[in-house]
Chains A and B, each alone.
Chain A
Amino acid sequence: MATNPMKIRATNKDGVTEVKVLVSHEMETGQRKDASGAIVPAWFITELTAKHNDRLVLAGELGTAVSKNPYLAFRFKGGAKGDKISVSWKDNKGESRTDEAAIA
């Protein structure tokens, strides 16, 4: 199944890097029913990690209560313009994706 790229924006200000991530994912809860009354199976991101160069800066575990196309923002100390930020996620179907961006 094809996955769509994440939008990652990282900006450094006064030694603190703020990272904003917009992931493209259905985040189906498994509680919704379709038109015929059958339950739509759960399909959601379970794990998400962010790295600055190769150093882990955030490890998240998500549940079904996170909105469709999850948005995430966090800040860490350090980082410089041009450094690499990579974000990876994995969903409950075993699908995964990694995208990269440079700190602006």
Chain B
Amino acid sequence: MNKQRRNVLKTCSGAALMSLLAAAGIIAPGIALAEWNKAAFDAKSMADTLKALGAGTPADSKDVQVTGPDIAENGAVVPVGVSSTLPNVTMVAILIEKNPNALAASFTLPEGTEANVQTRVKMGQTSNVYALVKSDGKFFMATKEIKVTLGGCGG
């Protein structure tokens, strides 16, 4: 493992320096562009997470769908999907209300990528799962309750 590279990544947080590194081919450019939103992932409650994402209070929308099981037997692996028919979707995020940190994942979708993302998440307990979608600069949300019979956090 290249220790020096780690230190470089740790000590430089400036975007300019990161892009310089990217240009030099030290780190993959795509990764350098996205800066992990620590505030959003550290936020505990739904409201704080939405604030950290800059989403304010999203409107409920019928054009956003959360897919997943009604009952998940194993909270460690819950298949969850987000899809939307709204135009110009640039971002989708999955939030789990009762997890220690609400935000599970967020995805930036460049033009041409469909608003249809599936993944698997961990759920500590039965909770509402929210799909947050940014369309034309506005945020929309949909909810689905997923019951968990065996939690996925702890053990």
With both beta carbons as reference points, the residue of chain A lying nearest to B79 in the complex is identified as A71
By a CB distance below 8 angstroms, the chain A residues around B155 are: 32
Known: A67-B77, A68-B76, A71-B119. A47 touches B34 (CB 8 A): yes
Complex Cα gap A46–B103 (Å): 12
Across the interface, do B103 and A72 meet the contact criterion of CB distance under 8 Å?
no
By a CB distance below 8 angstroms, the chain A residues around B116 are: 74-75
Counting CB contacts under 8 A, is A11 at the interface?
A: no
Across the interface, do A66 and B105 meet the contact criterion of CB distance under 8 Å?
yes
By a CB distance below 8 angstroms, the chain A residues around B46 are: none
Provide the main secondary structure of the chain B interface.
Answer: mixed
Known: A31-B100, A49-B34, A63-B41. A58 touches B121 (CB 8 A): no
By a CB distance below 8 angstroms, the chain A residues around B37 are: 61
- Output the least CB separation between B82 and chain A (Å): 10
Interface residues of B in 102-155 (CB under 8 A from A): 103-110, 112-114, 116-123, 152-155
- Output the least CB separation between B142 and chain A (Å): 18
Interface residues of A in 42-72 (CB under 8 A from B): 46-47, 49, 51, 55-68, 70-72
Provide the main secondary structure of the chain A interface.
Answer: strand
Across the interface, do A94 and B114 meet the contact criterion of CB distance under 8 Å?
no
Across the interface, do A73 and B117 meet the contact criterion of CB distance under 8 Å?
yes
Across the interface, do B119 and A73 meet the contact criterion of CB distance under 8 Å?
yes
Across the interface, do A31 and B110 meet the contact criterion of CB distance under 8 Å?
no
- Output the least CB separation between B118 and chain A (Å): 4
Known pairs A49-B34, A74-B113. 7 more at Cβ < 8 A?
A46-B36, A65-B103, A67-B76, A70-B119, A74-B107, A74-B117, A88-B28
Q: List 25 A-B contacts (CB under 8 A).
A: A16-B114, A29-B122, A32-B153, A47-B36, A49-B28, A49-B30, A49-B31, A58-B108, A59-B110, A61-B36, A61-B37, A61-B105, A61-B107, A61-B108, A63-B101, A65-B122, A67-B119, A67-B152, A74-B107, A74-B114, A76-B112, A90-B31, A94-B9, A96-B28, A98-B28
Residue numbers of A with Cβ under 8 A of B are: 1, 16, 27, 29, 31-32, 46-47, 49, 51, 55-68, 70-78, 88, 90, 94, 96, 98
Residue numbers of B with Cβ under 8 A of A are: 1, 5-6, 9-10, 27-28, 30-31, 33-34, 36-37, 41, 76-79, 81, 96, 99-101, 103-110, 112-114, 116-123, 152-155
